[in-house]
Structure 1
Amino acid sequence: MIVGIGTDLCDVRRIEAALQRHGLRFVERILGPQERVVWAQRSGRCAQRGLRYLATRFAAKEAFSKAIGLGLRAPMRWRDCEILHQPSGQPAVVLHGALQRWCAERGWHAQVSVSDDGDWASACVIVEARNAPARAPLASSADTATPMPDEGEVRRR
């Protein structure tokens, strides 16, 4: 069962300005330990790749905070929510500390998608309850559609 959906659209230029203003402190405030390693690797190869990585993580964490209904207040903390890649390349939400315990108590699991293009980074998060009752299968369109009258029937009306 879906318990929350969150989206965020982030202006990469805004993240760049914050990074220029606050430097590494901004990165340390937003990214968790494993994300910082990836950010450093990407930034080392190309500053824009590091910037886009930071912007997509910022957007994903904003979207996650909306999906769980807390915004950015305890137990939601930037560094306790990491967006890491599985071996397949799919992004995944990895939680730590009080935030991990809070979500686990509710049986919640999150799915995330991130994207960036030009000056924009976006993210969408869906939070589901793992122990939700099974849903009935969706009806096919043939089961729910109102049949169209045939041509002869229309003329008779």
Structure 2
Amino acid sequence: MLYGIGCDLCEIAHLEKSLTGAHAAAFIRRVYGEAERAALSLDEPLPAGRSAAHRLASAAANFAAKEAFLKAAGTGLREPFSLCEIEAVRLESGAPSYHFSGQTADWMQAHGLAARLSLSHEGGMALAFCTLETL
């Protein structure tokens, strides 16, 4: 049974400022989990060109995935959730999926929920759509 749905848009250029600004390292640690940071090489400087554009679009899609989850949960960003505990990862097939840790994983288990995720980016925007379903 459907528990909640959420969607979010993220402007890639706006996120780029957060990832390259003076407080980028703190922002990255607060928002992105370890698996996301590794997959997107967020702890390394962004190179110029197509590679950087793809990394930025993926980082924006991951950010939108976090916001979409919070909307589906119906809580917004408050306890027990932490953005870095809500990770958007890619399966071997390339399909996006959520990975939860810490109190967020505990909340999902306590509520008996499974999450589904769809991501897209085009024209300077990234989109995420999340559904939460009872197991």
TM-score, normalised relative to structure 2:
0.89
Distance in 2 between residues matched to 1:4 and 1:23, nearest whole Å: 32
- Describe the superposition over 1:100-152 as per-residue Cα deviations: whole angstroms up to 9, x where unpaired: 0111011001000011012100000000000xxxxxxxxxxxxxxxxxxxxxx
- Describe the superposition over 1:62-105 as per-residue Cα deviations: whole angstroms up to 9, x where unpaired: 00000011111111111111111111111111100111011101
- Describe the superposition over 1:27-81 as per-residue Cα deviations: whole angstroms up to 9, x where unpaired: 2221100100011189568221221121001000000000011111111111111
Distance in 2 between residues matched to 1:19 and 1:119, nearest whole Å: 16
When you count strand as a share of all residues, which structure comes out higher? 2
AA of the residue aligned to 1:90: A
- Is residue 8 from structure 1 mapped to residue 8 from structure 2 by the alignment? yes
AA of the residue aligned to 2:40: W
Structure with larger RCO (C-alpha < 8 A, sep 6+): 2
- Is residue 128 from structure 1 mapped to residue 129 from structure 2 by the alignment? no
Distance in 2 between residues matched to 1:60 and 1:99, nearest whole Å: 14
Distance in 1 between residues matched to 2:131 and 2:61, nearest whole Å: 16
Unaligned runs of 5+ in 1: 131-157
Unaligned runs of 5+ in 2: none
Q: Compare CA radii of gyration and give the structure with the larger one.
A: 1
Moved >3 Å (runs of 4+): 41-45
Could you say which residue in structure 2 is the equivalent of 1:75? 80
Of residues 65, 70, 85, the one that matches 2:90 is 85
AA of the residue aligned to 1:9: L
CA RMSD of aligned residues (A): 1.7
Could you say which residue in structure 2 is the equivalent of 1:65? 70
Percent identity, aligned pairs only, is 36
1:36 is paired with a residue of what secondary structure?
helix
